[in-house]
Structure 1
Amino acid sequence: MGFFLLENTLDVRRYVGIWYKEDAQTVVWVANRDKPVLDSTGVVTVAEDGNFKVLNKDGTVYFTTSTGSMLWQSFDNPTDTFLPGMKMGTDMKLTSWKSATDPGPGSFQFQPEQDSTRYSILNRPATYLWKSAKPSTNSFDDNHMSLNAFSFLSNITTQKQYRRLPNGTISSETVSVVDPNSRLVMGHSGKLQYLSWSEVTNQWDLEWEEPKDNCSIYKFSNQGRDMGPQSCEYTRLLVWETEPNNLRGEGTHNISFRFSEGMFSGTQIVAQIACSMHFS
């Protein structure tokens, strides 16, 4: 932890943050993100009242916790980054930076939905940009979170693996399911990204992101017109078991399409395809 300056800025704006030892350019938490110290002075202190504070030479407060008798930790008060060991509670939010050179609260916010089974990105204050898929194998929605990202948010770091030995006994071992050198970031461009650190290249590898295209954007429409099922750049595979009374033919037919959630219901899309497809 310490004071840092952002590159490519003309004025002096000093922030207190936390960054990686291996990568000092990647700041994962900022204390005074919306109130930088505007000169070369500044001090970080724990005041007599027990609160963590950022002050300048005149004693002006640029950041303070307000804990009373409760302990405070940055893990419970993230900025734009979720780290291993955190757990995404219903009140936790990740708020993007304004830009690559301004860590102030930006336009995009990642948060869990109230039922805690889905997550969403808001274009603040209240416009949905993306919603994760409902936890159902029958969903038409393909905006599923990656298993690693979901385990990461749930703080599920390990799991048991079992195997049968040649003598017939069962052996178990605990394996890691979350890379300890990974992070989830709500980017200033509106993309939620899950990244892991590569020891080989000494850089961050992108493993998963949303929204990945226009079809992932909630209620996306093309120039104000509702999307049809063939309007997206690429398709996902739906396995549809046909019924003789609905379509000619028997067995299973593969139909490819993608759509933006909120524009059509699954029933409407099936009806459109049923009317337009002919099987021999």
Structure 2
Amino acid sequence: MAILLWLMLLVASFHGSPAQNSTRTIVSGSRLVANSRITSSWPSPLGDFAFGFYNLSEDRFLVGIWFNKIPERTLAWSFNRNQPVGLGSYVELTVAGRLLLKDSQGSETYIYNGPLYATSANMKDDGNFALRNSDGSIIWQSFDSPTDTLLPGQSLATNQTLISNANGTIDFSEGRFNLEMQFDGNLLLNAYRYKDPAYWYTGSIGENGYLHFNATNMIMFVYNTTTPNQNNLSDAGNLPTPHSDYYHRATLNDVGNFQIFYYKKANVPQVGQWSWSLAWQAIEQPCNVTGLCEEYGYCFLDANQKPSCLCPLNFTLLDPNNPFKGCSPDFAPQRCGKDSSMRNFTVQVIEGVDYPNNNFADLAELKHSDRESCRKAVMDDCSCMAAVFLVAERTCLKKRMPLLNGRSDTSANGRIAFIKVATTDDTALPSPDKNKDPSSRDLAAGLIITSSVLILIFAAGAIYCRLASRPCGLIKPSSITSAIEIKLKSV
């Protein structure tokens, strides 16, 4: 028994306790290689996080940081989200003090290429990957360049942004929404590709503003030096305790909502045993996100209260696998002019659907309207394709094209959308063959006919020559050598 106890103490002295083994040092010359069979990574001391090659598929990888002890392996940071690399790519802490990514095609990109010399690196248990110089000072860290997620202890500084993924865990490239800490101290969410001013903001104005995720109480707050009172966005009331028994993250998701989640830690987690639970979110009405369903689509909440998108009748999803990419009409829109006709169009009525936007989106505002007059206003105007009738306000808002921000949720109660659509095949979008220039078709037909006639002439000539048993070809010049003499006489 004494010998067994002595052996246990000896093993413990080699491995050390978690507190003693607080870092795993990565030295110059260390390298990770992308491999489809095993995960190539540098884990944190307790194994909660790992830095390395995150598998998207058998031959596509991101250089990133992920939660290493949960089955989902949720990604918290990535370097090359827009350009995944292939098998055989590697990351190296070079002897020249740089952190290099070299892909399988030989292209080199520096994750760190600063003026200071990195002699070591380590993946920390808080999810931060850091490079250090010879005296141990941090000269670069992943916490300073977030992608779509903040971890406890991490901040979003002035003029920094989080950018959403394009499509959840399917496409990690940059998406359509960002969370930005502006230079004036205001934190806002916007659909930046639409130059949207903001669909959510804190209104916190002051110098040197930043957003911070407190690692002690897990509260998210905004702070600036002008008004030093912190503005708490979340509270700890919805979080289970003790906080140390759970993982936490704050993520801007692919549908434009900034949310805080927690996940129960387990020594041996099983798939389906635990999942990320929502503790707080910036947007309570998910369909209020600007441009969520892109052009013509409108947002609705499914049975799980998650947003999705639908198209009006006679419209088709641009991508059946991703309804958030918008819709396109199956017909040619009505045109104004002498060829314009209302006979081939009708007005589709959709109860409880709104297409709100700023004043620029409204072609006209017709007050003291009713349902029928609003429908007729759309039908009679060749330049108008849609309108929304506000029942309580008795107002008809004729819309500009394309339609954006469509939604069918509680905010659309008392709204009726009128959309002009085609009724016959005469207004169907032309196929590529119908788009050809008529003059081009006539020219092609003429060339074909001319070629056919020439072929028939040559064929007939060849048959005639064979039947006549005589050579057919060019007539040779005459062999007459003497000139014809003509005598002139006077009359």
Query: TM-score normalised by the shorter chain: which range applies?
Result: 0.5 to 0.7
Other-structure match for 1:130: 199
The alignment status of 1:66 with 2:120, answered yes or no, reads: no
Kindly report which structure 2 residues correspond to 1:49-128, keeping only aligned pairs within 5 A, or say none: 49-57=96-104, 59-69=106-116, 71-99=139-167, 100-116=169-185, 118-125=186-193, 126-128=195-197
| Aligned-partner residue type, residue 410 of structure 2 | E
Give, in whole Å, the separation in 1 of the partners of 2:287 and 2:54. Answer: 38
Match of 1:266 in 2: none
Distance 2:105 2:291 in 1: 50
Which of 163, 167, 192 aligns to 2:258? It is 192
Q: For 2:80 and 2:286, how far apart are their aligned partners in 1?
A: 34
CA distance in 1 between counterparts of 2:244 and 2:54 reads 29
Structure 2 equivalent of residue 211 of structure 1: 283
- 1:52 to partner: Cα distance: 1.2
Q: Quote the Cα distance in structure 1 between the aligned partners of 2:110 and 2:252.
A: 22
Deviation at 1:94, TM superposition (A): 0.8
Contact conserved, 1:210 with 1:216, CA < 8 A, in 2? no
Determine the structure 2 residue equivalent to 1:223: 355
How far 1:51 sits from its partner (Å)?
Answer: 2.1
Q: Counterpart in 1 of 2:56?
A: 6
Aligned partners of 1:41 and 1:56 also within 8 Å: yes
Secondary structure of the equivalent of 1:28? Answer: strand
Name whichever of 45-54 and 209-218 sits farther off. 209-218
Q: Which has the larger radius of gyration?
A: 2
Call closer, same or farther: CA 1:83–1:214 in 2, change over 3 Å: closer
Matches within 5 A, 1:241-260: none
Tell me, yes or no, if the aligned pair for 1:95 and 1:110 is still in contact at 8 Å.
yes
Task: State the secondary structure of the residue aligned to 1:75.
Answer: helix
Against the structure 1 CA distance between its residues 63 and 128, is the aligned structure 2 distance closer, same or farther, given a 3 Å change threshold?
farther
Cα pair 2:85 2:104 within 8 Å, conserved = no
Q: Indicate if the aligned counterparts of 1:97 and 1:104 stay in contact, CA closer than 8 A.
A: yes
State, as a whole percentage, how many aligned pairs show the same letter.
23
1:117-137 CA distance string (max 9 Å, x none): x3211212432442234369x
Normalised by the length of structure 1, the TM-score is: 0.58
TM-aligned CA deviation for residue 75 of structure 1 = 0.4
- Contact 2:187–2:204 (8 Å) recurs in 1: no
Matches of 1:26 and 1:217, distance apart in 2: 24
Output one character per residue of 1:116-174: Cα deviation in whole Å (capped at 9) or x when no partner. Answer: 2x3211212432442234369xxxxxxxxxx95533x66x9xxxxxxxxxxxxxxxxxx
In the alignment, which residue of structure 1 is the partner of 2:425?
none
Q: Give the Å deviation of 1:228.
A: 9.7
CA distance, structure 2, for counterparts of residue 50 and residue 43 of structure 1: 16
Structure-2 separation of matches of 1:224 and 1:92: 29
Aligned length in residues: 201
Q: Secondary structure at the match of 2:280?
A: strand
The 2-side partners of 1:132 and 1:186 are apart by: 14
- Over 3 Å counting, the alpha-carbon distance change for 1:229 and 1:63 in structure 2 is farther
- For 1:244, the equivalent position in structure 2 comes to none
Distance change in 2, residues 1:57/1:219 (3 Å): closer
Equivalence for 2:410: 233
Report the secondary structure of 1:211's partner residue.
coil
| Higher RCO (CA 8 Å, separation ≥ 6 residues) | 1
Q: CA RMSD in A?
A: 4.0
2:62 aligns to what? Answer: 15
Question: Displacement, 1:49?
Answer: 3.7
Match of residue 85 from structure 2: 37
Alpha-carbon distance between aligned partners in 1 of 2:177 and 2:152, rounded to the nearest angstrom: 22
Contact 2:148 2:163 in 1 (8 A): yes
Cα distance between partner residues in 1 of 2:158 and 2:79: 22
Distance 1:96 1:224, change over 3 A: closer
Relative to structure 1, the CA distance from residue 49 to residue 150 in structure 2 (aligned partners, 3 Å threshold; closer, same or farther) is same
Q: Deviation of residue 64 (structure 1)? A: 2.6
Question: Helix, strand or coil for the counterpart of 2:163?
Answer: strand
Equivalent residue, structure 2, for 1:47: 94
More helix as a share of residues: 2
Distance 1:47 1:15 in 2: 20
Which is further off, 122-131 or 24-33?
A: 122-131
Q: State the alpha-carbon separation in 2 of the partners of residues 50 and 228 from structure 1.
A: 67
Contact kept, 8 Å, 1:17 with 1:27, in 2: the verdict is yes
In structure 2, what is the Cα distance between the partners aligned to 1:215 and 1:57?
Answer: 42
CA distance in 2, matches of 1:37, 1:223: 41
In 2, the alpha carbon distance for the partners of 1:228 and 1:149 equals: 42
Instruction: Name the amino acid aligned to 1:90.
Output: T
- Matched residue type, 2:115: G
Q: List 4+ stretches of structure 1 deviating above 4 A.
A: 175-180, 214-221, 224-232
Shift of 1:68: 1.8
In structure 2, the partner of 1:240 is none
- Residue 183 of structure 1 corresponds to 249
- Check whether the contact 1:80–1:96 (CA below 8 A) recurs between aligned residues: yes
Equivalent position amino acid for 2:248 in 1: S
Shift of 1:60: 1.8
Query: What is the SS of the residue equivalent to 2:143?
Result: helix
Is the contact made by 2:191 and 2:290 (CA closer than 8 Å) also made in structure 1?
no
Q: Which of 146, 150, 155 does residue 220 from structure 2 map onto? A: 150
- After superposition, give the CA deviation of every residue in 1:67-104 in whole Å (9 maximum; x if it has no partner): 22282111000111101111221132111112222222
Whole-angstrom CA distance in 2 between matches of 1:202 and 1:50: 41
Shift in Å at residue 44 of structure 1?
1.0
Cα distance in 2 for partners of 1:188, 1:50 equals: 36
